[in-house]
């Protein structure tokens, strides 16, 4: 399935980088994008973000007040991720495209100036500029499409784009972790309905990744083995929660799943990130990923498109091989056709999760709706 993908790098009117990832003509030859220019009159992006460390947890919190004015659920005619057309210039200058990645105009992380200091001069509250990068990934020019609807070669191109950006961003000296993800559905909090994902390049290791690292290191110190490898082996051995299996990937509902619908997609080979996948693994991933997202939509009969988050957990830059391996966590907060899972007191305040179902029931339903 692997196809030639052309990367064409250009810049938007305010200087932000935009990269076309093309796999079909007239785009793959560069003829349709080579001479395109963004003719809009745009002010420079001002990302006045800062990080403050919470002394109670040691976690860094990002403050990005400029994002309050970001685009919010525009009409289809005003969608910034659709191709540009006469009288309607968008974030994508081309009249058509395959896959596009560009710097977010309202980034939580950026290149602010200044040095670290203390909030109110108090040593308890260190702060520093929120350096890093936030990118948008437009999966398709079709406004009403779903990732599950993409042709396999196009799904593979999206994977190649995420892998290429992971590799490039991981080389930046300020970046500690690259996080690729898709939010879908107003219930999740999306501000744009057009099918797209995002990439955050953090200047710190986020709390979830730090926990995964700590648990993996503890397990290896105690057993000499990889925790995530042992979990995959155990799930495949038991089989009750396996919902998809191939030569290079397996998908299972974790034994301690938190969400009403949750599945983890894991490569059999221990790799740190998307960039480390070979062609065969990427080909099978396109099949499995598209299939699983379709099952999430079919989980509750009659509902149609489900709100979900698809989160690619990757090893932080500089992590030792095997400390943390790549996996994708797909989950939905819908717990019934007409009900959502809300994170109330126990979950939000204490981090103590209470599930309304069981992982075994989730897995059974995901197997039942396979096509």
Q: What is the pLDDT of residue 194?
A: 97
Q: What is the pLDDT of residue 223?
A: 97
DSSP state of 346: I
Does the active-site annotation cover 229? no
Query: How far apart are alpha carbons 171 and 332 in whole angstroms?
Result: 32
Q: What is the pLDDT of residue 81?
A: 98
**Domains of the chain in sequence order:** 6-204 (3.30.428.10), 208-368 (3.30.428.10)
Burial group, residue 154, by CB count within 10 angstroms (0-12, 13-18, 19+): buried
- Token pair listed for 347: 């979950």
Q: What is the pLDDT of residue 145?
A: 97
Burial group, residue 222, by CB count within 10 angstroms (0-12, 13-18, 19+): exposed
Residues of the chain under the 70 pLDDT cut = 1-3, 34-35
Instruction: Please measure the distance between the N-terminal and C-terminal CA atoms of the chain and give it in whole angstroms.
Output: 21
Q: Tell me how crowded residue 153 is: count the other CB atoms within 10 A of its CB.
A: 16
- ω into 26 cis (within 30 of 0): yes
Exactly one of 194, 196, 264, 313 is catalytic; name it.
196
Q: Are 316 and 213 in contact (CB under 8 A)?
A: yes
The model's pLDDT over 20-73, given as tens digits with 9 standing for 90+, comes to: 999 999 888 877 776 688 989 998 887 779 999 999 999 999 999 888 888 888
Task: Please give the angle made by the CA atoms of 166, 172 and 174, to the nearest 5 degrees.
Answer: 115
């Amino acid at each position: 399935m692997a196809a030639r993908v052309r990367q064409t790098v250009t810049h938007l009117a305010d200087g932000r980088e935009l990269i076309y990832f093309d796999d079909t003509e007239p785009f793959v030859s560069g003829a349709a994008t080579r001479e395109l220019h963004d003719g809009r009159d745009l002010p420079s992006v001002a990302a006045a973000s800062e990080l403050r460390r919470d002394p109670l947890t040691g976690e860094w919190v990002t403050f990005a007040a400029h994002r309050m004015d970001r685009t919010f659920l525009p009409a289809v005619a005003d969608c910034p991720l659709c191709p540009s057309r006469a009288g309607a210039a968008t974030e994508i200058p081309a009249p058509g495209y395959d896959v596009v990645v560009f710097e977010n105009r309202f980034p939580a992380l950026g290149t602010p100036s200044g040095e670290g200091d203390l909030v109110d001069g108090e040593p308890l509250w260190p702060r520093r500029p929120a350096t890093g990068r936030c990118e948008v990934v437009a999966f398709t020019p079709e406004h009403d499409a779903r990732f599950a609807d993409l042709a396999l070669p196009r799904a593979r191109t999206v994977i190649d784009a995420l892998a290429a950006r992971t590799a490039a961003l991981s080389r930046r000296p300020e970046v500690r972790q690259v996080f690729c993800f898709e939010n879908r559905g107003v219930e999740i909090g999306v501000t744009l309905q057009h099918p797209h994902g995002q990439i955050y390049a953090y200047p710190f290791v986020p709390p979830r990744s730090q926990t995964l690292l700590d648990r993996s290191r503890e397990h290896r110190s105690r057993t000499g083995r990889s925790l995530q490898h042992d979990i995959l082996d155990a799930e495949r051995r038991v089989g009750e929660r396996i919902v998809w299996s191939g030569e290079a990937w397996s998908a299972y509902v974790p034994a301690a799943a938190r969400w009403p619908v949750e599945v983890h997609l894991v490569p059999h080979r221990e790799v740190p990130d998307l960039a480390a996948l070979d062609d065969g693994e990427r080909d099978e991933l396109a099949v499995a990923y598209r299939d699983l997202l379709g099952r999430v939509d079919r989980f509750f009969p009659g509902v149609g498109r489900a709100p979900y988050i698809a989160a690619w957990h990757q090893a932080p830059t500089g992590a030792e091989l095997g400390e943390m391996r790549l996996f994708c966590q797909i989950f939905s907060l819908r717990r019934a056709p007409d009900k959502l899972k809300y994170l109330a007191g126990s979950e939000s305040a204490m981090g103590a999760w209470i599930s309304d179902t069981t992982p075994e029931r989730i897995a059974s339903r995901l197997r039942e709706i396979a096509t």
